[in-house]
Amino acid sequence: MDAKSQNNIEQMRSFKKDLIRFMMSYKFALAEVNTKIDILKQEFQYIHDYNPIEHTNSRLKSPESILRKIDRKGIGLSLPYISENIKDIAGIRITCSFISDIYKIKDMLEQQKDITVIECKDYIEYPKPNGYQSLHLIIQIPIFMSDREDLVPVEIQIRTIAMDFWASLEHKIYYKYNKEIPVRIKNELKEAADTAAKLDKKMEDLHKEMNQIKQLSQHEDILGEQLANNDTFKLIPAMFMSEFNKNNKN
């Protein structure tokens, strides 16, 4: 084997090793964020009376998928370039019941000391033209390797059940038609997205109304308990009876 061939083999081995470390950092970052979300979910489950997180899904792009994306973007085959330009290699989707839950979870994630939000796209406030709604966050989290610390980006998508239902079916339809969708079907998909948005709004209103009723009921229970434990109010029935007996004697 000549020196050139040997050098090429060494370069391939070095690139393979770097690629493995590169993918491992995203895998570990995904595990870190999943753990944080699971802790929040369990806290709400066991301590609070309401859990805003319905369920979560996570995925790690395959090397083949990454190569296809860098080809579309025209990015050179360089791991630093890939890391700089592709932020969704590791991704998590959180599904909630109500729109308010989405922003509640966003706030809780932002309060984590080792999480930095580097990008936020609010497709709920500003839906895409096709009707797509979701909140997209790109966060950065530190991963401690044996010889260094890596700051790894993770994409988090937070959406309601209705948003997730529409997005999943819309994706399947696009895949079936190989993205060449007839105009009529595009329009009907947009109408379906609008219907899902109205359903979310209606359910959010009902959710707020039920919370108000619950708070009022709790307030009345507390007030009733305070009155029952107040010695002054305990004397009121006796005072009325004393006055009633006095009037009857007269």
Q: Is 216 exposed, middle or buried (0-12, 13-18, 19+ CB in 10 A)?
A: exposed
Q: Which of 110, 119, 155, 170 is catalytic?
A: 155
**Cβ atoms of residues 116 and 56 within 8 Å:** no
**Cβ atoms of residues 172 and 143 within 8 Å:** no
Q: Is 240 exposed, middle or buried (0-12, 13-18, 19+ CB in 10 A)?
A: exposed
**Cβ atoms of residues 14 and 6 within 8 Å:** no
| 225 catalytic residue (yes or no) | no
Percent composition of the chain: helix, strand, coil (DSSP 3-state, to 5): 60, 20, 20
* Rounded-to-integer distance, Cα 163 and Cα 159, Å: 6
Q: Which residues are catalytic?
A: 155
